[in-house]
Amino acid sequence: MKSSIQNPKRVAAIQMVSSADKAQNLHEASLLIKQAVDQGAIIIALPEYFCFMGLADKDKNDHAEEFGAGVIQDHLAALAAEHGIYLIGGTLPLRSSEPERFYNSCLVYDPSGQCVGRYDKIHLFGFTRGAESYDESKAIVAGTFAPTVIESPYGKIGLGICYDLRFPELFRAMDEVDILVLPSAFTYTTGQAHWETLLRARAIENQCYVLAPAQGGHHQNGRRTWGHSMLIDPWGKILDCVPTEAGYAWGDIDTEYLQQVRQQLPALRHRRIEILKQKDNK
């Protein structure tokens, strides 16, 4: 596919079906990143827990790394430097002060391989329907610093993780960003019902591109994830989507179109809630 955009900023959302074999997952991520680079992608995002999907959330604690050192972080840094890309490293478990729980963290690496951003997931997923039940708070410590926006030569990149998608106030607090990146592992049940609707809503209301890499298929632990990794434009149009199994969704960020949408419908400038709150606090 040839882009008609002047100086396109090509991006890609990697989709995986990660297992409990960390080495294999890292290898597969490397192959998919190489394929996306060959398509011209300069910003590439991996899915939540791209590196490891154990039999239970607590199993990830065995692979938790200290921030700044570890096999997973070294691998991400090396890939970013090798390909000269901005790499949003999905999520990986980072150690917390609690021995039995970890942070679910998204790290961003620049083309030199330097870590230029960290976001720890603040909203922890909980869902129960019949035999299907999840409670991330049993194994994960919620992050305390948000929102997280990365300044890059290709625009402002806002970070969220999976369940964060359901809380629009997080993204509104970022002010104006060019791309929202949301590494995810949505369950099949909740993804089928809400994934596309929520992603398109976040793109429309924040007038930005949304890059959503996801887990997508049947996992070794018996879990089934929804997949449908996608790239959405500021008008809410889906530019590319990978339904299930490994692959990547990709496309071009058109800065001129982004500004055109904001000029024609200046909704971001029309916001009143924060102004009214400030008046009330005086």
Exposed/middle/buried for 278, CB within 10 Å: 0-12, 13-18, 19+?
exposed
Cα separation, 18 vs 13, whole angstroms:
15
Nearest Cα residue to 184 out of 227, 132, 246: 227
At 165, give phi and psi (nearest 5°): -55, -25
Q: Containing H/E element for 201?
A: helix 196-206
Rounded (10°) angle between helices 22-38 and 71-83: 10
CB 210 within 8 A of CB 174: no
| Catalytic (active-site) positions | 48, 121, 162
Reading phi first (left if > 0) and then psi (alpha if -120 to 50, else beta), residue 149 is in: beta
Burial 140-176 (b: 16+ CB within 10 A, else e): bbbbeebbbbbebebbbbbbbbbbbbeeeebbbebee
